[in-house]
Amino acid sequence: MNPTSATAQPAFDVERVREDFPILDTRVGAHPLVYLDNAATSQKPQVVIDALTHYYAARNANIHRGVHYLSGAATDAYDQARVTVAKFLGAAEPRECLFVRGATEAINLVAATWGRKNLRAGDEILLTEMEHHANIVPWQLVAEATGAVIKVIPITDRGELILDNLDELLTPRVKMLAVTQVSNALGTVNPVAELVRRAHAAGAKVLVDGAQGAPHVPVDVCALDCDFYAFSGHKIFGPTGIGILYGKAALLETLPPYQSGGDMIERVTFAKSTFRGLPERFEAGTPHISGAIGLAAALQYFAKIGPEAAAAHERDLLVYASEQVRAVPGIRIVGEAAEKVGVLSFVMDDVHPHDIGTILDNEGIAIRAGHHCCQPLMRRLGVAGTARASFAFYNTRAEVDRLAAALHKVKKMFG
């Protein structure tokens, strides 16, 4: 989507949807809240809040261990949550979906297990110039431990991957391509299907960071054919502290445990321990049971809303917001890829992004300001940071109007 001209607003009952999110009734001082920090974390519908409350009020017990009623109820809900996740991702079977704390832990898990098992000195890990720190630092650590080398796919000034020399980068030394599906700082939608195909043709595995992709673009891991896919629950209307690592079963079965402890073992003696199969091998200890149940409720809610209708509404908001923000004197939008979803990053002449964020907060408008955990990307684009408004399907054109009016006020204050 190229946000260059406004289009008619899609038939999407956003006011009805907003009723599902109690926090949107918050007032910040004298102003109604305008929440435009969805790329950092999304808000939660009442059904997710209710699911968490119901677990603690009626099902709270540990899972997979007890023989009593509550343990059985909690186990059933937790196991069913994995089925819901597998359906959302299009996974071949639920055991390919591992519960983790979020996309960050998912990537660390792959780097620590697959990376240490498979990488050797001189091997290469291919990243992109727009990666979040969570998809850079874990690979740096495993590279230091194994002697592997990190290479980078460059980007254009518009924030799009430069793939002209991809075949030259994808040498037989490349063992892993780790790529974001959607840039958290720019909103760029990367051609991950093409990247997966070309990486596999070169003999490399592929990890897709779907933290920003899962809430905004269709996900079908089997069709995509990626080896690993990671996303965080809190960015897709679910609880914090829960996320998913999808991995092809045949590949996960070759990997050693990431952590050890209860529930992931078959047999323990002081001489030796043996471990269970998927998914338990990678879920040591008491898991985030309520988080898994809450994530399942979020995914079910998202499916009921209709991801396609939600995405169409978000595209309309991005087009409209791009036009309104461009009209503010001194503002430059950072990242104008042809394929882009609900992120609008910008800088204003002689005004620090944190000052923009602070003044907008005084108007009740929540945005993000800074480097967005993408310092290499910011350096590539020649900025210290940006102000970032990021949209979800519960945002409105009226909220965009308030954003634009507040930015005109910022410009006036700083001359």
Say if residue 4's pLDDT is above 60. Answer: no
Q: Which residues pair with 354 in a beta bridge?
A: none
Query: pLDDT class for 66, splitting at 50, 70, 90?
Result: confident
**Rounded CA gap, 195 and 169, in Å?**
12
Say if residue 369's pLDDT is above 60. Answer: yes
How much is the average pLDDT of 356-363? 98
How much is the average pLDDT of 282-301? 97
Specify the pLDDT at position 204: 98
CB 335 within 8 A of CB 159: yes
Beta-carbon count within 10 A of 411 CB: 17
Specify the pLDDT at position 8: 45
| 154-179 per-residue burial string, b: 16 or more CB within 10 A, e: under 16 | ebeeebbbeeeebeebbeebbbbbbb
Q: Which residues pair with 150 in a beta bridge?
A: 125
Q: Convert the pLDDT of each residue in 108-148 to its tens digit.
A: 999 999 999 999 999 999 999 999 999 999 999 999 999 99
**Rounded CA gap, 271 and 210, in Å?**
40
How much is the average pLDDT of 38-49? 98
Residue tagged active-site, from 97, 226, 373, 374: 373
* Single-letter code of the amino acid located at 143: A
Residue 222 falls in the annotated catalytic set: no
Specify the pLDDT at position 321: 98
Torsion of Cα atoms, 338 then 348 then 382 then 165, to 10°: 0
Looking at CATH, the fold of the domain delimited by 49-303 is given as Aspartate Aminotransferase; domain 2 (3.40.640)
Give CATH superfamily name and number for 14-44+307-413: Aspartate Aminotransferase, domain 1 (3.90.1150.10)
First to last CA, the chain: 33
Say if residue 10's pLDDT is above 80. Answer: no
Say if residue 348's pLDDT is above 70. Answer: yes
Specify the pLDDT at position 7: 44
Dihedral of CA 104/107/110/113: which sign? negative
How much is the average pLDDT of 172-181? 98
Say if residue 379's pLDDT is above 50. Answer: yes
Greatest alpha-carbon span in the chain: 73
Tokens 């001209």 map to which residue? 5
Q: Convert the pLDDT of each residue in 197-228 to its tens digit.
A: 999 999 999 999 999 999 999 999 999 999 99
Query: pLDDT class for 12, splitting at 50, 70, 90?
Result: confident
Helix, strand, coil percent content, the chain, rounded in steps of 5: 40, 20, 40
Query: pLDDT class for 374, splitting at 50, 70, 90?
Result: very high
* Single-letter code of the amino acid located at 161: L
* Single-letter code of the amino acid located at 312: A
Q: Convert the pLDDT of each residue in 97-117 to its tens digit.
A: 999 999 999 999 999 999 999
How much is the average pLDDT of 62-71? 93
Q: Convert the pLDDT of each residue in 299-345 to its tens digit.
A: 999 999 999 999 999 999 999 999 999 999 999 999 999 999 999 99
Say if residue 1's pLDDT is above 70. Answer: no
Written as six digits, the tokens of 338 are 């042809």
Contacts of 240 (CB under 8 A, 6+ apart): 41, 102, 233, 234, 291
Specify the pLDDT at position 255: 98
Q: Convert the pLDDT of each residue in 155-165 to its tens digit.
A: 999 999 999 99
CB 324 within 8 A of CB 100: no
**Rounded CA gap, 79 and 70, in Å?**
14
CB 48 within 8 A of CB 237: yes
Beta-carbon count within 10 A of 274 CB: 9
Residue 326 backbone dihedrals phi, psi, to 5 degrees = -60, -30
Written as six digits, the tokens of 61 are 């017990």
* Start-end of CATH 3.90.1150.10 domains in the chain: 14-44+307-413
Written as six digits, the tokens of 302 are 């998202």
DSSP E strand stretches across 31-130: 31-32, 34-35, 97-100, 124-128
Burial of 151 (0-12, 13-18, 19+ CB in 10 A): middle
* Start-end of CATH 3.40.640.10 domains in the chain: 49-303
Q: Convert the pLDDT of each residue in 380-413 to its tens digit.
A: 999 999 999 999 999 999 999 999 999 999 999 9
